[in-house]
Amino acid sequence: MATPSPFSLLEGLLQSFNLPTTPPPWAVEEGQRRLVLLLNHVLMQEPQAMERLARQKGRVLLCLWRSFTFKVVITPAGLLDLAQADAAADLTLELTEESPLALAQTLMQGEKPAVQIAGDVQLAADVNWLVDHLRWDIEEDLARLMGDVPAHGLVQAAQTLVAALRKFVGARSPAGSNGPAA
């Protein structure tokens, strides 16, 4: 007899509550601004990524998931900025997985989530390159705040936790399942 996953139990519990489906607009905008800052921080660590994006200056990228939208424009410096609401998207990326927990499970398994892509092929290729090659060196950023040794210990603990979660998620996946199709 199969034991139900605690993730499916949690998802069912969350769906039973009548929570608002979208946060207030000010919170969405502030979250998007923080995300742009984080993405630009990561981009600035990799000059080749900025060079690739600089060639796409002025292009607009729209990311969609459920009722959430995130629209950015590429700056001449090869960084990102929030795009105007009425700006036409040159590339649209839509996450097709509706369940936040299934999406988290896919990411915890180290896989890319299923995405529908529409728009400019060259921009899509550059975005794919960024996804494949950019990594945030969080340990280096933490070391600036708290020192090398505590940052290393914190990152080691987080990596151990992620490895344990991946092992758990892998053990909970149905036999013969290769994950979601892209």
| 146: containing domain | 137-173
Same domain, 88 and 162: no
pLDDT at residue 175 is higher than 70: no
Whether residue 20 is contained in a domain is answered as no
1 assigned to some structural domain: no
Percentage of the chain exceeding pLDDT 90: 38
Identify whether residues 143 and 122 lie together within a single domain. no
Name residue 5's amino acid: S
H/E stretch holding 94 reads strand 91-95
Residues 98 and 128 occupy one common structural domain? yes
Q: Is residue 4 part of a domain?
A: no
In a domain, 8, yes or no: no
- Let me know if residue 17 belongs to a domain: no
CA 62 to chain centre: 13
Query: Does a structural domain hold residue 71?
Result: yes
Q: How far is Cα 47 from Cα 54, in angstroms, rounded to an integer?
A: 10
CA distance 154 to 106: 24
Quote the mean pLDDT of the chain. Answer: 81
Rounded CA separation 30/98 (Å): 23
Is pLDDT at 20 greater than 90 in this prediction? Answer: no
Residue 136: which residues within 8 A CB-CB, separation 6 or more? 38, 41, 42, 45
φ, ψ dihedrals at 89, nearest 5°: -80, 135
What CATH number has the domain bearing residue 38? 3.30.1050
Evaluate if residue 171 carries a pLDDT over 70. no
Residue 180, pLDDT score: 47
d(CA 67, CA 77): 30
How crowded is the C-beta side of 142, counted as CA atoms within 13 Å? 14
